[in-house]
Amino acid sequence: MQFKVTPWEVRGKINYEKLVKEFGVQKIDNKLLDKIESITGELHFMLRRKIFFAHRDLDFVLNEYEKGNKFFLYTGRAPSGPIHIGHLLPWIFTKWLQDKFDVELWFQFPDEEKFLFKKNLKFEEVEKYLEDNILDVIAIGFDPEKTNIIIDTKHASLLYKEACKIAKRITFSMVKSSFGLKEQSNIGSIFYTAMQAVPAFLPSILKNNKIPCLIPHAIDQDPHFRLSRDIIPKLGYYKPASIQCSFLPPLTGVSGKMSASEKETAIYTTDDEKTIRKKIMKYAFSGGQPTVEEHRKKGGIPEIDVCYQWLRYLFEPDDKKLEKIYYDYKSGKLLTGELKEILIKKISNFLKEHNNKKKKAKKNIDKYFEWFNIS
Amino acid sequence: MQFKVTPWEVRGKINYEKLVKEFGVQKIDNKLLDKIESITGELHFMLRRKIFFAHRDLDFVLNEYEKGNKFFLYTGRAPSGPIHIGHLLPWIFTKWLQDKFDVELWFQFPDEEKFLFKKNLKFEEVEKYLEDNILDVIAIGFDPEKTNIIIDTKHASLLYKEACKIAKRITFSMVKSSFGLKEQSNIGSIFYTAMQAVPAFLPSILKNNKIPCLIPHAIDQDPHFRLSRDIIPKLGYYKPASIQCSFLPPLTGVSGKMSASEKETAIYTTDDEKTIRKKIMKYAFSGGQPTVEEHRKKGGIPEIDVCYQWLRYLFEPDDKKLEKIYYDYKSGKLLTGELKEILIKKISNFLKEHNNKKKKAKKNIDKYFEWFNIS
């Protein structure tokens, strides 16, 4: 099966090597990892494990940082449904970047995006999820003094004019070839990419100072920034850099990406321990053998086992512990059921803590919007 | 020469009969004029002279009005240069409508429109004219208690979301066929029509009440509303009605329309008496004969004489006086030079008064924006 990666669709078994070439991004090499480590003192496990594996101009941003020219982070979330653990992955990494580099984060909620791209979705539906999604983001622990949340429709009096400046330099042919939009696409979806470009230079406008921008995101969003990267410098700002991750595999197998609209593929932040257990027991694609006897003899295949992959992507930051699980599973010492139990416990604990933070987030929410009243 | 009428280009000798058929609008017939007169007590000379000559659903709006369901007026101005007397024409009529029907006016300044459609225009240039254009509008005398001004980029936090709802129902093919946009058109210009649609139902949202909308405009803007008229009812609002005028002829002849970018074709509101005299003496296309002798013998042709036409369109509201000028000119009794003097005096007096009102407008400007702080 051919794989496909666009900002709106990810399917098939993704060949990341091929994707890197097709998109024209750079892989993060050891030299770059060394440079990051020299600044941060350590490497996040998502860097060590090449979960964040590709970039554009990361070297530029780090060089500027070393010269004392701090960047800001920009990432986002298009609300239209509940948050699952696949969404959390880049945010957890983004928090690490914020802490280690001591930088501002601008977090965009393009509340019109899914409305424009999903046929039957209404704004009322989007709004239902918007605040809850914001609380999930705040629960990650972003510094309220250094984090600013943008909601497209709410803050359009600052965004729309800047988006027009971007839009003037993008033709329909360009979005056609970059995103596969068609003559039958609606004119809101055609315009949308211009809105997504704005936070990459908005802080430079508000502070009246050219500030480098680093965008952590899953690789499927690259086409947006490929287009805007060429345009933003023409408006007098730095070309935004990016650091890109691969996709957390869906529960049902290591192809495609986790999708909020296919319930059996995802664990939501609202799932309780019972639900987590049920989903993992029922749907988690296993690299184990059909019987215990066979498993003991032949061993499992961690590379295709979703439970193992989730530990690697998110829930077991300790490399040594992860390595032990890998070899125990591969040798047949660790059974699929036991591996599942490890993951269930890890996720349950993680989400318990996450939801405690989410409850507390409610009273802090205004802090993340103060930037708009000031500007 | 073929004539052409789009929202962005008007050229050639316009065949209004043909345009009415092509656009699919209705002519304003005597029955409708009688109905207006029965409400207003009199007919504005622009109605009597069929300068406002076409409409969509004007009968619906009048019927609702008679039932006690008042409409609101919506018109606009895309700022990018100085105001000329051609711009004033529909505004003067709109003020008459506001006064006679005692209704609200929503006046849109789509400050992004010309930016998106003119290659080398910058926002700074637009902003330079924006406030001055607003003062020209206020000088017309619109009731500050009943008139609300919308600036697209400034008020986008209310407009953009509603524009997305419109945009979702318009495809690229539709704007291609309605406006002649191309694959090489920028995505801002493709999206723009959705922004122009919003004021036709925004008051209904703000007042949480379905209110009929009547849009006075020059016929070249019809394609915008032709598209949005089909969509707005799907969002739950009344289909906006329109009342449409023909174009004030440019100084240089009775083809095309007055253009702010061709200086010799226009009289600006900022022109002083000396400039007005110079322009009219030098450029005004004349229906007179080459020599005084010949003129006395053969007479002039008022139908193609721009001075006569301007009196008819704007500066001589008295039908009897206008008729006298018509026959005096046609018979050769009135010379071209004398006709020009009549017009020069009329325009000079008009603009002197206009500019006095414009000076006073400055201190009232905030009143027209109060709606935004309240909503």
Using one digit for the tens of pLDDT, what is the confidence trace for A270-323?
999 999 999 999 999 999 999 999 999 999 999 999 999 999 999 999 999 999
In which residue are the tokens 């949308």 written? A192
The predicted pLDDT at position B1 comes to: 57
Tell me the C-alpha to C-alpha distance, in Å, between residue A53 and each of A66, A89, A217, B284: 22, 13, 11, 70
Q: Considering only CB atoms, which chain B residues are within 8 Å of A116?
A: 164, 167-168
A268: Cβ–Cβ under 8 A, 6 or more apart, which residues? A82, A83, A84, A85, A260
Q: Which of B116, B181, B191 to mutate to test the interface with A (most CBs of A within 10 A)?
A: B191
The answer as to whether B365 is a domain residue is: no
Domain end point (choices B220, B251, B282) = B251
Taking CB atoms and an 8 Å limit, are B171 and A165 in contact across chains?
no
Residues A226 and A291 in one domain: no
Comparing CB atoms, the residue among A156, A171, A185 nearest residue B171 is A185
Residue A364 forms part of a structural domain: no
Residues B47 and B178 occupy one common structural domain: yes
Residue A257 confidence (pLDDT): 79
Contact B81, B261 (CB under 8 A): yes
**B342 vs B171: CA distance, rounded Å:** 51
Residue A163 lies in a domain: yes
Mutation to test the B interface, candidates A168, A174, A196, most B Cβ within 10 Å:
A168
Whether residue B280 is found in the same domain as residue B201: no
Does the interface predicted TM-score (ipTM) exceed 0.90?
yes
> Looking at the domain assignment, is residue A297 inside a domain?
yes
At which residue do the structure tokens 């979330």 appear? A77
Please report the pLDDT score of residue A211 as a whole number: 98
Contact assessment for residue B41 and residue B226, using Cβ atoms and an 8 Å cutoff: no
* Per-residue pLDDT reduced to its tens digit, A176-228: 999 899 999 999 999 999 999 999 999 999 999 999 999 999 999 999 899 99
* Contacting residues of B for A190, CB less than 8 Å apart: 172, 187, 190-191
**Residue B2 has what pLDDT?**
81
Q: What is the pLDDT of residues A122-135, one digit of tens each?
A: 999 999 999 999 99
Using CA atoms in the order B79, B81, B83, B87, what is the torsion angle rounded to 10 degrees?
-60
Q: How far apart are CA B302 and CA B306, in angstroms?
A: 8
- pLDDT exceeds 70 at position A1: no
Q: Do B211 and B288 fall within a single domain?
A: no
Q: Which residues of A touch B112 (CB under 8 A)?
A: 160-161, 164
B115 → closest Cβ in A164, A176, A187: A164
| Of residues A28, A10, A39, the one with CA closest to residue A248 | A10
* The predicted structure's pLDDT at residue B256: 75
Token pair belonging to B168: 């979702």
In the structure encoding, which two tokens stand for residue A325, read together? 């699980």
* Cβ contact B187–A176 (<8 Å): no
The H or E element that residue A328 is part of is helix A319-331
Q: What is the 3-state secondary structure (H, E, C) of chain B?
A: CCCEEECCEEECCCCHHHHHHHHCCEECCHHHHHHHHHHHCCCCHHHHCCCEEEEECHHHHHHHHHCCCCCEEEEECCCCCCCEHHHHHHHHHHHHHHHHHCCCEEEEECCCHHHHHCCCCCHHHHHHHHHHHHHHHHHCCCCCCCEEEEECCCCHHHHHHHHHHHHCCCEHHHHHHHHCCCCCCEHHHHHHHHHHHHHHCHHHHHCCCCCCEEEEEEHHHHHHHHHHHHHHHHHCCCCCEEEEECCCCCCCCCCCCCCCCCHHHCCECCCCHHHHHHHHHHHCCCCCCCCHHHHHHHCCCHHHCHHHHHHHHHHCCCHHHHHHHHHHHHHCCCCHHHHHHHHHHHHHHHHHHHHHHHHHHHHHHHHHHHHHHHC
3-class secondary structure, A287? coil
Strands A105-109 and A72-76: parallel
The CATH number of residue A180's host domain is 3.40.50.620
Mean pLDDT of chain A: 95
Claim to verify: residue B126 and residue B245 sit in the same structural domain: yes
Q: What's the whole-model pTM score?
A: 0.94
Same domain, B244 and B271: no
d(CA B77, CA A206): 29
Of all residues in chain A, the percent with pLDDT exceeding 90 is: 90
pLDDT at B255: 77
Q: How far is B375 from chain A (nearest CA, A)?
A: 13
A16-20, A255-259, B242-246, B314-318: least confident range: A255-259
Number of H helices, E strands in chain A: 18, 9
Comparing CA positions, the residue from B295, B308, B291, B285 lying closest to residue B49 is B308
Q: Residue A180 in 3-state DSSP?
A: coil
Q: Which residues of B touch A (CB under 8 A)?
A: 112, 115-116, 123, 152-157, 159-161, 163-165, 167-173, 175-176, 181-191, 193-194
Contacts of A172 in chain B (CB under 8 A): 172, 181-185, 187, 190
pLDDT in tens, B192-220: 999 999 999 999 999 999 999 999 999 99
Q: Which residues of chain A neighbour B167 with C-beta distances below 8 Å?
A: 116, 186-189, 191
- Residue environment code for A298-327, b if the CB has 16+ CB neighbours within 10 A, otherwise e: ebbebeebbbbbbbbbbbbeeeeebeebbe
The span from the CA of A294 to the CA of B33, in Å, is 92
Across the range B60-81, mean pLDDT stands at: 97
Q: A7-11, A305-309, A326-330, B14-18: lowest mean pLDDT where?
A: A7-11
**Percentage helix, strand, coil, to 5, in chain A?**
55, 10, 30
List chain A residues with CB under 8 Å of B191: 167, 187-188, 190-191
Alpha-carbon torsion (B145, B146, B149, B154), positive or negative: positive
Q: Is the pLDDT of residue B375 over 80?
A: no
Whether residues A157 and B153 touch (CB distance < 8 A) is answered with yes
- Contact residues for A17 (Cβ-Cβ < 8 A; gap 6+): none
Interchain CB distance below 8 Å, B183 and A173: yes
User: Which of A167, A172, A194 shows the shortest C-beta gap to B183?
Assistant: A172
| Tokens standing for residue B89 | 């024409």
Which of B154, B177, B187, B196 to mutate: most A Cβ within 10 Å? B187
Q: How far apart are CA B89 and CA B267, in angstroms?
A: 13
pLDDT at B126 over 60: yes
Q: Tell me the backbone φ, ψ of residue B214, rounded to 5 degrees.
A: -120, 125
Amino acid occupying residue A221: Q
Looking at the structure, tell me whether residues B73 and B159 fall in a common domain. yes
A357 burial type by CB count under 10 A (0-12 exposed, 13-18 middle, 19+ buried): middle
Please, is B247 exposed, middle or buried when counting C-beta atoms within 10 Å of its C-beta (0-12, 13-18, 19+)?
buried
Pairing relationship of beta strands B213-218 and B4-6 according to DSSP bridges:
unpaired
Instruction: Flag whether pLDDT at A259 surpasses 80.
Output: no
Question: Over 90: is that where the pLDDT of A331 sits?
Answer: yes
Q: Per-residue pLDDT for B153 more than 80?
A: yes
Beta strand ranges found along chain A (DSSP E): 4-6, 9-11, 26-27, 52-56, 72-76, 105-109, 147-151, 213-218, 241-245
Structural domain of A300: 263-358
Pairing of strands B72-76, B241-245: unpaired
Residues B241 and B271 in one domain: no
Among A251, A286, A303, identify where a domain stops: A251
- Structural domain includes residue B373: no
| Residues written for chain A | 375
User: Bridge partners of A10?
Assistant: A5
Q: Which of B251, B276, B311 is the last residue of a domain?
A: B251
Could you identify the residue written with the tokens 């416990």? A345
- Residue A55 DSSP SS3: strand
Please check the confidence at residue A262 and state whether its pLDDT lies above 90.
Answer: no
Q: B155: nearest CA in chain A?
A: A157
B11 and B115: one domain? yes
Q: Measured between alpha carbons, how far is A350 from A130 in angstroms, rounded to an integer?
A: 22
Structural domain includes residue A367: no
- B311 within domain boundaries: yes
- As a whole number of angstroms, the distance between CA A331 and CA A121 comes to 48
Q: Which of A100, A107, A103, A104 is nearest to A139 (CA)?
A: A107
Pair of tokens at residue A353: 């803590």
Q: What residues in B contact A110, CB-CB < 8 Å? A: none
- Answer for the pair A53, A246: CB distance below 8 angstroms, yes or no: yes
A276: domain CATH number is 1.10.240.10
Length of chain B: 375
Question: How many domains would you assign to chain A?
Answer: 2
Residue B163 lies in a domain: yes
Q: Are residues B283 and B347 in the same domain?
A: yes
Q: Point out the residue among A169, A173, A188 whose CB comes nearest to the CB of B191.
A: A188
Q: What is the pLDDT averaged over residues B299-312? A: 97
Task: Specify the 3-state DSSP secondary structure of A358.
Answer: helix
Statement to judge: residues A79 and A164 lie in one domain: yes
Say whether both A196 and A312 belong to one domain. Answer: no
